[in-house]
Amino acid sequence: MKELEDRIRRDGRVLAGGILKVDDFLNVRIDPVLMDHIGKEFARLFEKDKVTMVLTIEASGIAPAYSTALALDVPLVFAKKARSANLGQGDVYSARVRSFTYGRDYDILVPSRFITSADRVLIIDDFLANGFAARGLNEIIHEAGAETAGVGVCIAKCFQPGMKLLEEECLHVEALAAIEAMDENGIVFREMKSGEEK
């Protein structure tokens, strides 16, 4: 998605450790017009996947997941982060996730009444790095007996292993901006195939 790539080039900041800061427009200060376009683009990319709900993790996944759910006209559910899964068993689904940015493990929790075995769930997140967040959500979807319709991420860092791991699980993965390499001198985006609108 050219609009997102241009914005990353203009306002993104590359930090040490393979971290890209996009606080100016994507996950602290949020540009609602860009977010609206992101939601519409995910809705276009997953329009054939019979999505019945969107699932993300608080907090930075919520904005793109909301605009996508709105564009697809389906509900949005977000997993809560907790230090440990000590809530009543049976009424929540949970998975253990390693945080990319904080380097510690945490549990993600979704009340079980919000996902049914009839659901086809679209996972949306702001970033894909090692794939732990998306794989944790995928685990919860399987625990619920539902199906994963796909994974949509605003930014995939292709030099980290998440993209490959999710594709190996035969998931339909879409990234609106796919970064091949980045350092203090700049960011190299993966070329989109001709005809792709992304």
Give me the residues that bind ligand 5GP (CB under 6 A), please: 19-22, 27, 60-61, 100-101, 125-133, 162
Bridge partners (DSSP) of residue 41 are none
Residue 156 β-bridge partners: 128, 178
Q: Rounded to the nearest whole angstrom, what is the least distance from the CB of residue 174 to ligand 5GP in the complex? A: 15
Encoded tokens for 150:
């796909």
* CA 120 – CA 117 distance, rounded (Å): 8
Q: Are 13 and 21 in contact (CB under 8 A)?
A: yes
Q: Report residue 181 as tokens.
A: 């390499």
Q: How far is the CB of 151 from ligand 5GP (least distance, A)?
A: 10
CB of 127 to ligand 5GP, least distance (A): 4
DSSP assigned state of 131 = S
Q: What angle do CA 26, 31, 35 make, to 5 degrees?
A: 75
Nearer to ligand 5GP, 35 or 194 (CB): 35
Comparison of 117 and 185: residue with beta carbon closer to ligand 5GP: 185
The nearer residue to ligand 5GP, 47 or 169, going by C-beta atoms, is 169
Helix (H) / strand (E) element for 71: namely helix 62-72
Nearer to ligand 5GP, 113 or 170 (CB): 170
Q: How far, in Å, CA of 51 to CA of 9, rounded?
A: 32
| Closer residue to ligand 5GP in complex, CB, 149/163 | 163
Tokens describing residue 66 = 């909301």
Residue 37 Cβ, how far from ligand 5GP at the closest point, in Å?
20
Could you tell me how far CA 20 lies from the centroid of its own chain? 15
Report in angstroms how near the CB of residue 22 gets to ligand 5GP at its nearest: 6
| Min CB(97)–ligand 5GP separation in Å | 7
Q: Which is nearer to ligand 5GP, 43 or 134 (CB)?
A: 134
